[in-house]
Structure 1
Amino acid sequence: MTATLSDPVTTSATTGIGAGHARQDVEHLTPERWAIANRHVLRKALSEFAHERLIVPIPEGNNSYLLASDDGAIEYRFTARRLQLDHWAIDGASIHRTRRGTVPSQGLALDVLDFITEFRGTLGVREDMLPLYLEEISSTLASHAYKQLADRPCSAELAKGVSAGVNPAADFQMIEMAMTEGHPCFVANNGRMGFGITDYRGFAPEAGAPVRLQWLAVHHSKAVFSASAGLEYRAHFEAELGAAALANFDSELTALSVDPADYLLMPVHPWQWENKLAVTFAAEIALRHLIPLSRGSEDYQAQQSIRTFFNTSTPERCYVKTALSVLNMGFMRGLSPAYMKATPAINDWLFTLIGADQTLMHHGLTMIREKAALGYHNAYFEAASIKGSPYRQMLSALWRESPLPLLGPGQQLATMASLLHVDGAGVPLASELIRRSGLGATQWLRRYLHAYLVPVVHCLFRYELAFMPHGENVILVLEHGVPVRAIMKDIGEEIALMGDDVEVPDEVSRIKVAIPEGERVLAVFTDVFDCIFRFLAATLVEDGALSEDEFWGTVAAVVHGYQSDHPELAEAFARHDLFADEFDLSCLNRLQLRNNKNMLDLGDPSGGLQMAGKLANPLAAFR
C-alpha cells in the first residue's frame, strides 16, 4: 500500500521517529507554493533593495525596468510605479527572469536564493555571512509557503472580528496569528535561526499553537526580581498563577528537600529549556541553582515578536516575555538580566509622564507596563563574555500588562502591523477597516493619525523622547474599524531620551542615549514615515482608496494642526523640521547584510546606522 499524509503514523524501531511524520512536517513545501513564495519575496527584495539604493534598475519605458546580475549573465525585467519616499510598487506578476541573449519565452524560474547569490557583490554580503543570510532567506520562503497552506480569515473577517465582537481577546489573537508579512522593510524577516520544523509549528506566531510555559525555580542568590512600585513578589505571582499553582510549585520543591523560600519562580520558553538551558546551564542545574518544575497549566499564544506570549486561558493576565536564543532579523532574541533590573522603573516613569501630559491624554495614548521582571546571572558566562553578549542573555523574563482591561464596550484590539496586511486575495485589511467605518478614506486616516502620529511627534517635540513605534510595537484600539487610541508596548528596551532637558531618576538613566541633534528627527522620518507610512500609503493608493497627495496632505494637515495648538514648542518645531525638503535615508537591510548576527549596538543606536543619501520629504510640498 502506498503511504499518504493521512495514513496513521507508525513507529520506526531504529529511530523512534514516526514513519511518514517527516512528510507531514513539510507538506507546505510544494512546487506551486514555493513558486508563489519566491515571486512574493523576490518582489519585496527588488523593491526594498532598490529603495535602499543597493540595486539600480534601469528604466526601459512604460514603467518597465531592467536589472542585470553582477556578472551580467542573468536579467530581470519588471514593471513598477515609483511613489513618494522612493517606494517601488512593483507588479509581482510582471517579474521575468532570463539568461542574457535568450528569448523572453525561455524565462527562468524565479529563485530568491539564486538572486541573492547573483547579486552578492552588489549587495555587499561578506563571504562568511552569505550562507547564514541564505539560510534566513530560505526560512522566510518556507514560512510564506506555510502561510499559504493554512486556512486564514480574509481581511473582511478580520475587520469585523471573527467572533463578531463577542470575544475581543480571540479576535485580537486571530489578527496576530493572521499576519503574513513580518517586518515590512526587512527581506529576510522570518529567519528564526535555531527553530526546527517541529519548533516552527509549535512556536511560530502564524502557527497559533497553544503553548504551556516551562517553569524553573532559580536560587535567589543568582537572580534579581524587580517590580513596579508597590508590587511585591508573592502578590505578583498570586495574581498571575493563582494560589493553587503556587502551592503546587512549593510542594515540588519541598519534595526535593529544598526550601521554597530560597527560590524564585521563572517561566522559560520551552525551546530555550530544551535547546539551551538543559545543556548550556548544566552546571547551574547540577548545583541546584536552577531546578526544573512542571509546565504551566495555562495556554499562551506566541506573538509576532516570537519570544512574547499572550495568555489565552486568562486574557486579563500579563503577557510573558522570555529569553530566546534564536537569531532573527539581525539579533539573537535574548533578554539581558542587567536590563531587567531597571525595566519596571522605566515603565513606571513613562506611565507617570504620559498621565501628566494633557496632550497625550487628550489623544488617548496609553501604554501597557512591563510591571515585573526577573533576571538570572550565570557567573561562568558573565566572566567569560563581553557586555551585550548573547551568552549573558539566556535566562530572563518579564511580565507586561494585558491590553484587555483598557477596552470599552464594543471596542476591539489590533496590532498596528495589521494596517499593512494584505490577505491571500490581495485585499488590504486597512481598506476593509475603512469600509467598515463608513468614513471616507481621508477621514479615517485623520482619525488614525490623531491616535498614533500626534502622540509620537509630541513626545519628540516636548521631551525629545523616542519610541520604537513600528507596527508590532503598537496596539490600536478600534471602534467600528476606526482607530481611536494607541497603546505603546515594549518600553524597557526600546525607548530613548535623546536630550538633556528632562531629568530622570538614576534607576531610569539607561534610557538617556546620546543622539546627534540632527538625527533625532529620524525617530519620525525613518521609524514612522519610511518604515510605516511609506507602506500604508502604497497599500491604500494601489487599492484605489485615495491618492498620494491625499495621503501625505492629510499627514501634513494633522501635523500643522498639532503645531498650531502648541505655539510654545515653536523652537522645537524648527529644530526638528518635519517639513524639511529631504532627510537621511537610513537603511535596515544594509545593516542586516553587513552583519546579520548583530546588526546594531543598541547601546549606541546612532553609531552603527547605514545611510544611503537623502529621501525627498513628502511633507515639504505642504509646508
Structure 2
Amino acid sequence: MSARTLDALTSDGGAAYAQAGRELLAKLIGELTFEDVLTPAILSDPDADLPGPDAAVLELALGDLIVSGRARRRSLGHWRVAPASLTARDAATGAARPLPDPALVVALGAPAAGADASTTAGLVAEVAATVLSDAVQLHRGRPARELLDAAPIDVEAELRGHPWIVAAKGRIGFDSGDLDHYAPEAQRTLQLDWLAVAADRIDTRALPGLTHRQVVDEQLGAQEADRLRARAAAAGHDPDTTVLLPVHPWQWRERILALHAADLASGAITHLGTAAPTYRARQSIRTLVDAGPDGELRRELKLPLSILNTSVYRGLPRARALAAPVLTEWLVGCVDRDPFLQETGLVLLGEVASASVAHTAFGTIEGVPYQHTEMLGAIWREPVAAQLHEGERALPLAALFHVDPAGESLIEHLIARSGLTVDAWVRALHEVSLPPLCHVLYRYGATFSPHGQNTLVVLRDDVPTRIVVKDFVDDATICAEPLPELLDLSPAVRAALGDGVEPAVITQWIQAGLLVCAHRYIAELLADRCGYPEAAFWAAARAALHGYQDRFEDELGPRFDLFDLDAPVFVKLCLNRVRILERGYRDGAERPIAAASGWIDNPLHAPAPAPVTT
C-alpha cells in the first residue's frame, strides 16, 4: 500500500474512513431497499422536519444488531438515508453499539437476503475496496467551487463512481499499488506498453479513408512510431505489415505476458517497450486521454483491463470492438443528415478505429467465459475537445451530482455563477438532453445508454447548451420492429446489431440509463441543496418531452405510442440485484444483464388533470 493511501486511512483519527463508511452504508440501505434486496422495517419519524409518509426511520436487523437511520422517500419511490443519522444498537438490550463497517453489514445481511457464501465473500471484498477508495477521495478531495474552472479530467478524478451500484469501485484484480497508479482518482500519468503483432494474428478496422497505421502514427507522432517500427523490424517483423498495438501496463503484466506466451515465444507478438506519450485514466479506468501538451485534441484510447468492476470484466468485446467503426459511421451519419439533431448540436464521439487479437486456445472453447475473449485489443475514439466551440466546455453528466467532502455540490455553484434561476437552468438541461435522445429513438428506432459517464453536458457561461454522447457503440441497440429507417442497414451494421429488441425494452435504455441512473440524483441534490422541488424537476422534464412531441406529432406521432416513454410506469431494472441474487461471481459466456424487479412510477407521465368543480 502506498504511503499516501495509508495516510488517508489514518489521518485525523480515521475521519475520512469513518465518513466514507457512513456514506456507503446509507447508500447500501437505500439502493438495496429500492431493488427489493433488503426489507428494513419502515417506521414513522415524528422528529422529521416534514413529518408524514415521506419521512421514516429505516431499521435493518442484522442478527443481534440493528442499524437504523432517518430517511426520506424520494420522487421515484426510493428511500434516501441520511448518513449522519445512522446508529446501531443491540437487538436484545437496545444498548448503543458502534456503527458497523459496511463490509460487516454485507457479511451479515447478504446471506439473509439469499446470497450464497461465495457471493457474500466477493461482495465483502468489493465493498471494502470501495470504502477504501472513497476514503482516499474524501481525504484529498477538493471543494466543489474549485472545480468550476478545473480541467475536465481533473473534475473526473474527483467523482466518486457509479451512484447506483453499491460496490462502485470493487476493481477486483487491482492491488493497492495499482489503485494508486491506475485509478482515475490517483491523478497519475502512465505510459503504455506497445506490441508488434503479425498481420495474421490481429484484426483491424477503421472508418473509410482512415487506416490503422495512420491512427497509430497520429497517436504516437511520426518519430516515435518510426522508432517502434524499427524495433519491430529488428525482431523480425515486416515493418510494412506489422501492426503496432498499445497495451495497458497492468494488462501486459497480469494477462498478456503469461496468456499470450506462445505468441511471444514464436515471434508472432513482440514486446517493444513503452512509448513517449503519457496518459491519464477517465472514470472507466480503461479509457485513457493523452496527458501531454494539446493532448485533449488527440484521440482517446480504450484498452482492455481484465478487472471486475461494476458487475463486468472491463475487457473489449471482440465483436463490438471490430464493429465500432461501422456502427460509428451509421449512427454519426444519422446525426449528420438529420436537421433536428443538427439543430440541437448533438455530438456522438466516433470510435473511428479498432483492433482485436483472438486467443488461439480460449477461442476454441465452446461457451468460454467472456473475459477470456476480450483481453487484447484497442479502440480509438475522437476527442470531445475537437467538437467544442469557443467558450464551451464539456463535463460528464455525473459531475452534476458530485458532492465534495463538505457536502457542497458542483451543480449549485454552476447554477449560481450562471446567473439563472434554478428552474431556468434545469429547463435548459432538459431541453438540450431529452429531445435529441428521444429523437434518435423515435426517428431511427435506435438508442444507447445515456448514463452519467457516457453523456457529457456542454456548458457555455455555465449553462447547458447541448450534449455529447460517447461509448455509444457498446450499448447501441435497435428496435425489432421493421421500421423503414432500419430496412436498408448495411450487412455489417445489421450483423453488429442483430435482430434488435422489443419497443418496450429499447425504451429502458433512456428510462434506466438517464432517468434512474442520473436524473434522480440530480433531482434529489437540487431539492436538498437549492430548495428546488423534485416535482418541479420532473415537470420541467415532461415539458421538454411534450414540447418535442408537439413539434413532431404529425411526422412521428405513431412512434410516440410505439416507444411509450411517458407511460404511467416502467420496469424497475436492478444493477445490484443481479450480482447479489442472480449471477454472483460465476463466469459465463455472456456479460450479465440487469435484473428486473417491480415497477417505477414514470416521472415523465403527465398526471391526470384535477377534476373541474362547479
Alignment of 1:44-193 (within 5 A): 44-62=27-45, 63-69=55-61, 71=63, 73-104=64-95, 106-150=96-140, 152-159=141-148, 161-162=149-150, 171-180=151-160, 182-193=161-172
- Corresponding residue for residue 276 of structure 1: 255
Please say if residues 57 and 65 of structure 1, whose CA atoms lie closer than 8 Å, have aligned partners that are also in contact. Answer: no
Deviations along 1:398-436, one digit per CA (max 9) or x if unpaired, are 100111111111211211110110111111111111111
Identity of aligned residues (%): 29
SS in 1 for 2:191: coil
- Corresponding residue for residue 264 of structure 2: 285
Q: Verify: 1:424 aligned to 2:405, yes or no.
A: yes
Distance 1:601 1:50, change over 3 A: farther
Deviations along 1:220-262, one digit per CA (max 9) or x if unpaired, are 1110111001112332222222211121012212332432234
SS in 1 for 2:276: coil
Distance 1:520 1:25, change over 3 A: closer
Distance 1:613 1:256, change over 3 A: closer
SS in 1 for 2:420: coil
Please say if residues 584 and 613 of structure 1, whose CA atoms lie closer than 8 Å, have aligned partners that are also in contact. Answer: yes
Distance 1:486 1:61, change over 3 A: same
Distance 1:402 1:598, change over 3 A: farther
- Corresponding residue for residue 601 of structure 2: 616
Deviations along 1:177-236, one digit per CA (max 9) or x if unpaired, are 1112x1111001101111111111110011110011111111111101110011123322
Distance 1:258 1:54, change over 3 A: closer
Tell me, in whole angstroms, the C-alpha distance in 2 between the residues paired with 1:190 and 1:591.
17
Unaligned runs of 5+ in 1: 1-20, 163-170
Alignment of 1:280-429 (within 5 A): 280-313=259-292, 314-384=295-365, 386=367, 389-429=370-410
Q: Verify: 1:532 aligned to 2:518, yes or no.
A: yes
- Corresponding residue for residue 611 of structure 2: none
Tell me, in whole angstroms, the C-alpha distance in 2 between the residues paired with 1:596 and 1:438.
48
Moved more, 270-279 or 588-597: 588-597
Offset at residue 477 of structure 1 (A):
1.4
Offset at residue 23 of structure 1 (A):
5.0
Distance 1:596 1:217, change over 3 A: farther
- Corresponding residue for residue 33 of structure 1: 16
Tell me, in whole angstroms, the C-alpha distance in 1 between the residues paired with 2:319 and 2:506.
26
Tell me, in whole angstroms, the C-alpha distance in 2 between the residues paired with 1:598 and 1:187.
19
Alignment of 1:364-513 (within 5 A): 364-384=345-365, 386=367, 389-499=370-480, 500-501=482-483, 502-503=486-487, 504-509=489-494, 510-513=496-499
Tell me, in whole angstroms, the C-alpha distance in 1 between the residues paired with 2:73 and 2:319.
45
- Corresponding residue for residue 557 of structure 2: 570
SS in 1 for 2:605: helix
Code of the residue aligned with 2:66 in structure 1: it is E
Code of the residue aligned with 1:37 in structure 2: it is A
SS in 2 for 1:59: strand
- Corresponding residue for residue 174 of structure 2: 195
Q: Verify: 1:260 aligned to 2:251, yes or no.
A: no
SS in 1 for 2:604: helix
Question: What root-mean-square deviation, in Å, do the aligned CA atoms of Structure 1 and Structure 2 show?
Answer: 1.9
Moved more, 574-583 or 560-569: 574-583
Deviations along 1:297-333, one digit per CA (max 9) or x if unpaired, are 1111001011110112122111011011111111111
Offset at residue 445 of structure 1 (A):
1.1
Unaligned runs of 5+ in 2: 46-54, 609-614
Offset at residue 596 of structure 1 (A):
4.3
Deviations along 1:8-66, one digit per CA (max 9) or x if unpaired, are xxxxxxxxxxxxx7655522223333221210100100110111122233232223324
SS in 2 for 1:427: coil
Code of the residue aligned with 2:556 in structure 1: it is L
**Aligned positions, number:** 587
Distance 1:144 1:264, change over 3 A: same
Please say if residues 214 and 273 of structure 1, whose CA atoms lie closer than 8 Å, have aligned partners that are also in contact. Answer: yes
- TM-score calculated relative to the size of structure 2: 0.92
Distance 1:156 1:190, change over 3 A: same
- Corresponding residue for residue 204 of structure 1: 183
Code of the residue aligned with 1:549 in structure 2: it is A
Please say if residues 111 and 117 of structure 2, whose CA atoms lie closer than 8 Å, have aligned partners that are also in contact. Answer: no
Moved more, 39-48 or 307-316: 307-316
Offset at residue 621 of structure 1 (A):
4.2
Tell me, in whole angstroms, the C-alpha distance in 1 between the residues paired with 2:500 and 2:565.
21
Offset at residue 491 of structure 1 (A):
2.3
Code of the residue aligned with 2:515 in structure 1: it is F
Tell me, in whole angstroms, the C-alpha distance in 1 between the residues paired with 2:403 and 2:510.
24
- Corresponding residue for residue 212 of structure 2: 233
Code of the residue aligned with 2:6 in structure 1: it is V
